[in-house]
Each structure stands twice: as C-alpha cells, then as structure tokens.
Amino acid sequence: MAETEGAGGGADAYGRNQAMNTAFLVIFLVLQIADIWTTLTALKQGGRELNPFLAKLFKRFDPLSVMVPVKLAGVWALWYVNLWGLTALMCVAYMWVVFHNLDEIYGSK
C-alpha cells in the first residue's frame, strides 16, 4: 500500500507539481520550435531580432546554431527548477513571441 502524507502536502503535491510542469514543458518545447521557425522566417524576410543579446550573437554566428542551444538551455532550466507556474508563465510569454513573429511574417503585408 502506498504511503501518502496529509492533504495538500508531501509526495502527492510533489507528484502533481511534476505532472503539471511536464505538461507545460511539452507546450513550452513546441513554442520554442515555433519560435525558431518564425524567427528564421522573419529574418529571411528582412526582419530583425528584438532580443539585444541574441541580435549580437546573430551577427557573429548562424542564427539557428545560436537558437537551438539557447532554447535547449531554457527547457532544461525550467525542467530543473520544476515550478509549473513559472513554466506556464514562460509559455504565455512565448505565445506572445510566436504570435508577434507570425504578425511580422504574414500580418504586415
């Protein structure tokens, strides 16, 4: 028989937190792939990177070779801290980024 701690705490709460974080990590990973695709597409159409740190790196290196490790580091960091609320917040932020990129690609014409 499985042993659980009192309501609202212990192993059950940790398991729920981990499950929620995993679900949001999957969404976050999909958004990272969408961000890479939309960013590369916008750059090919003459757009510019708005993140000043990445913009500097893009001048020295291929944007794809910069974005992939940065995105993987972000996914790893959110997995490591295991805070589903933070991961959910990052999903909302990257939804905005992807929609902004899509507007740059399709909406401004």
How much is the average pLDDT of 87-108?
94
Q: Which pair of structure tokens corresponds to residue 38?
A: 């939309």
CA separation for the pair 28, 108 (Å, rounded): 26
CA separation for the pair 50, 78 (Å, rounded): 23
Using DSSP's 3-state secondary structure scheme, residue 51 falls into: coil
CA separation for the pair 81, 95 (Å, rounded): 21
82 CB-side CA count, 13 A: 8
Contact 108, 47 (CB under 8 A): no
pLDDT the model gives residue 109: 55
pLDDT tens, 31-86? Answer: 999 999 999 999 999 999 999 999 999 999 999 999 999 999 999 999 999 999 99
Helices assigned H by DSSP within 1-109: 10-44, 52-60, 63-81, 84-102
CA separation for the pair 41, 89 (Å, rounded): 25
Q: Is the pLDDT of residue 105 over 70?
A: yes
